Amino acid sequence: MTKLKLGPIAEDKPVKVTLDLPGALHRNLVAYAEALGRETGQAAADPKKLIVPMLERFIATDRGFAKARRKSSESHQPRDPSSSNA
């Protein structure tokens, strides 16, 4: 069996978000939810509940984003005057 990137979907306080998905993407979310259910031995999750963990996983594993975020936070930190060569 293929190891999916997502694990079981944790229950969390719901937040309402409204967006339009292309039909093909929705069908893929439904298929992913079914595959995840088979892999975890649970009922298929509501495809809408996959969106947040997928986005979290995507952001957490995006090296370019992590690098840009580090550079951004470094450029916003005050410089230590004792470390200057003046």
- For the chain, 86 residues long, the average pLDDT of each consecutive 10-residue run is 72 81 96 93 89 89 86 75 57
**Using H for helix, E for strand and C for coil, what is the string for the chain?**
CCCCCCCCCCCCCCCCCCCCCCHHHHHHHHHHHHHHHHHHCCCCCCCHHHHHHHHHHHHHHCHHHHHHHHHHHHHCCCCCHHHCCC
pTM exceeds 0.85: no
What pLDDT, on the 0 to 100 scale, is given for residue 70?
A: 87
Distance in angstroms (rounded) separating the CA atoms of residues 9 and 80: 43
